[in-house]
Chains A and B, each alone.
Chain A
């Protein structure tokens, strides 16, 4: 079945350093990927997405890289700040999932906890 997993459950980085959070997926039909950030006591918040026709997408201080050959996704956070401390989830789906297909709209990984050391 479909599965999305994360390589590392926890990551600690020094404030100001760059963070890299990794994610592996197993469904080769997946063509849409999203990173979510979940702060303590809050619901997940959309960070950035990428479609399978792209290898890289940049946002504000964040970059998502997609390697379809090895089915790997990563989130890079530049100049990590204390406010970046959270759990980060990757999620994947197929853009062409038809109506009533029974497929799960999004499959989420277990998450990586990012701790920023001041």
Chain B
């Protein structure tokens, strides 16, 4: 158990809908990262927050947005969903905001868009 929690574990929704994925980092970690993993693909970095502020942005679509709240939990909002958005979404946390800090991954949310 990494100490990172993600909810829900599974999510099935229709095209055009909007969903929110939630992540709680490990106690003491200030950075939260969001990744997308499609079938047979590696982890695609989406976005990083550090202590409430956006720190780095990767291949995140404009239909997607995220935020980190004062209690450090984070939410990833996916809107106008398309079939291609079906994937595993992972959240990770680390104590610092640079790549040298070990990232601890949550169990993921499996999103299925039908």
A residues in contact (CB < 8 Å) with B:
32, 34, 36, 41-46, 49, 89, 91, 93-95, 97, 99-111
| A46, B100: Cβ atoms closer than 8 Å | no
| A42, B107: Cβ atoms closer than 8 Å | yes
Residues of chain A contacted by B48 (CB below 8 angstroms):
105
Q: How far is the CA of A96 from the CA of B33 in the complex (A)?
A: 18
**Which partner residue on chain A sits nearest B9 by CB separation?**
A41
Residues of chain B contacted by A105 (CB below 8 angstroms):
33, 45, 48, 55-56, 97-99, 103
| B98, A44: Cβ atoms closer than 8 Å | no
Residues of chain B contacted by A97 (CB below 8 angstroms):
98-99
Residues of chain A contacted by B104 (CB below 8 angstroms):
46
Residues of chain B contacted by A109 (CB below 8 angstroms):
42
Given the interface pairs A42-B107, A43-B108, the reply to whether A32 lies near B100 with Cβ below 8 Å is yes
| B100, A111: Cβ atoms closer than 8 Å | no
For the complex of A and B, the 10 pairs showing the least CB-CB separation, nearest first, are A93-B99, A43-B105, A110-B42, A108-B43, A105-B99, A108-B42, A95-B100, A44-B105, A104-B45, A104-B58
